[in-house]
Amino acid sequence: MQTELLDNPTPCAVLEPLHARVLVVDDEEPNRTLLRDSLEPHGYEIEEAAEGEEALRSVAARPPDVVLLDVMMPGMDGFEVCERLKKDPATASIPVLMVTALSARQERLMGIAAGANDFLNKPVDLQDLTLRVRNAVQAKRLYDQLQAEQRKSERLLLNVLPRPIAERMKQGELNIADAHADVSVLVADLAGFTRLSVHIAPEQILALLNEIFSAFDLLVEKHRLEKIKTIGDAYMAAGGLSGEDPAHLESMSRLALEMRDELARFNAGYHTSLRLRLGLSVGPVVAGVIGRDKFAYDLWGDTVNLACQLEASAEPGTIRVSEAVFERLKDRFRFEPCLLRGLKGREDTACYVLHP
């Protein structure tokens, strides 16, 4: 509907331009022109829509920072446009300022119910317009910053926790400890890295470890397994924690072989002679989150201890696996028998060396 000219009873304060995008929605071109001409000198980029469907298409194609939305329009009125914008998660955060000549309390309540963030009365006061639009833009930018920080925090959380555990912590669960009946545990250690680190600068040590472990991370992700932690130049991964992959042990065995191949490529590129000792076992574990401010996801149990002992006793460049691993995979890989002797808390234990 046609509005009166903009009221300007008081001088408009001089404000620093925000360089934001504003979508003006009104079926009357003179009204759109008045709003555009009033906002453009303040640095706003103005887009226009003459009716509701056009406004929704414009928002979908290029979301604005603020929508100035007339209430009384033919076809789809402003209430419906606002409601549809607020129901869509992709556009719900865009501030909607409804511009109306209606002053009845019921009309305001309808706007609030539709999700409107603010109102402007016709005839529109110029200073009121610029201040409310500016406040809406600043609120939107603050919201976007908070969302970006939340996404950053979630990425950091997923760097140290499996996704299902991270989701449980986000829901407020603090004491997380789960028993798992069938988990494959791989422990790898870089033989020769300690000796190499004596002769290179600290930043080079960090760069080398980061490159190696980042390559391992990609392999773990490829096989849909879980990285558990690194300790110095040691790396631990696990499979079967979600209970959704019955072939996790075979995937873990292939991961071990590919990690060894990846290190060989690293040695060829950097003229180094690092080698991996790897230990692999399978069985029950307890998994959970420890700590409060600096928390970590970890595994406990005899299956974990055995994987560590297999790694510690392995010759550099070899993959030692437990008898349980051998029994389940003996038809898929080649194995060479060996024996663990003199281990603390264990009698002589059969083990095997995994080959491709």
pLDDT tens profile 61-118: 999 999 999 988 888 999 999 999 999 999 999 999 998 876 667 777 888 889 999 9
**Rounded mean pLDDT of the chain?**
88
What span, in angstroms and rounded, lies between the C-alpha atoms of 104 and 125?
A: 19
Q: Are residues 71 and 170 in the same domain?
A: no
pLDDT tens profile 132-142: 999 999 999 99
Q: Are residues 221 and 318 in the same domain?
A: yes
Residue ending a domain, among 97, 129, 157, is 157
What span, in angstroms and rounded, lies between the C-alpha atoms of 329 and 309?
A: 20
Backbone angles phi, psi at 174, to 5 degrees: -110, -45
Burial class of residue 226, CB neighbours in 10 A (0-12, 13-18, 19+) = buried
Q: What is the CATH number of the domain that holds 66?
A: 3.40.50.2300
Residue 5: pLDDT over 50: no
Residue 161: pLDDT over 60: yes
Q: Is residue 15 part of a domain?
A: no
The structure's pTM equals 0.65
CB atoms within 10 A of CB 59: 22
Q: Are residues 119 and 240 in the same domain?
A: no
* 283, two tokens: 């069985």
Q: Is residue 10 part of a domain?
A: no
Q: Tally the domains of the chain.
A: 2
Residue ending a domain, among 157, 187, 209, is 157
Better-predicted residue by pLDDT, 83 or 155: 83
Residue ending a domain, among 113, 129, 157, is 157
Residue 9: pLDDT over 50: no
What span, in angstroms and rounded, lies between the C-alpha atoms of 203 and 211?
A: 12
Q: Is residue 165 part of a domain?
A: yes
| Nearest CA among 129, 133, 78, 84 for reference residue 107 | 78
Q: Are residues 176 and 304 in the same domain?
A: yes
Packed helices 126-160 and 163-170: angle between N→C axes, nearest 10 degrees: 130
Residue 304: pLDDT over 90: yes
Q: Are residues 135 and 234 in the same domain?
A: no
Q: Are residues 327 and 231 in the same domain?
A: yes
Q: Are residues 127 and 172 in the same domain?
A: no
| Nearest CA among 103, 85, 97 for reference residue 130 | 97
Tokens 């401010």 -> residue? 293
Q: Is residue 5 part of a domain?
A: no
DSSP symbol at 7:
B
Q: Which amino acid, one-letter code, is at 30?
A: P
Residue 2: pLDDT over 60: no
Q: Are 96 and 115 in contact (CB under 8 A)?
A: yes
Across residues 251-263, what is the average pLDDT? 97
Q: Is residue 1 part of a domain?
A: no
Q: Are residues 179 and 148 in the same domain?
A: no
Handedness of CA 201, 203, 204, 208 (dihedral sign): positive
> Residue 118 pairs with which residues in a beta bridge?
97
Q: Are residues 267 and 150 in the same domain?
A: no
Q: Are residues 201 and 350 in the same domain?
A: yes
Q: Is residue 172 part of a domain?
A: yes
pLDDT at 193: 87
Domain that holds residue 129: 21-157
Q: Are residues 280 and 192 in the same domain?
A: yes
Residue 10: pLDDT over 50: no
Q: Is residue 234 part of a domain?
A: yes
Q: Is residue 14 part of a domain?
A: no
Q: Are residues 62 and 44 in the same domain?
A: yes
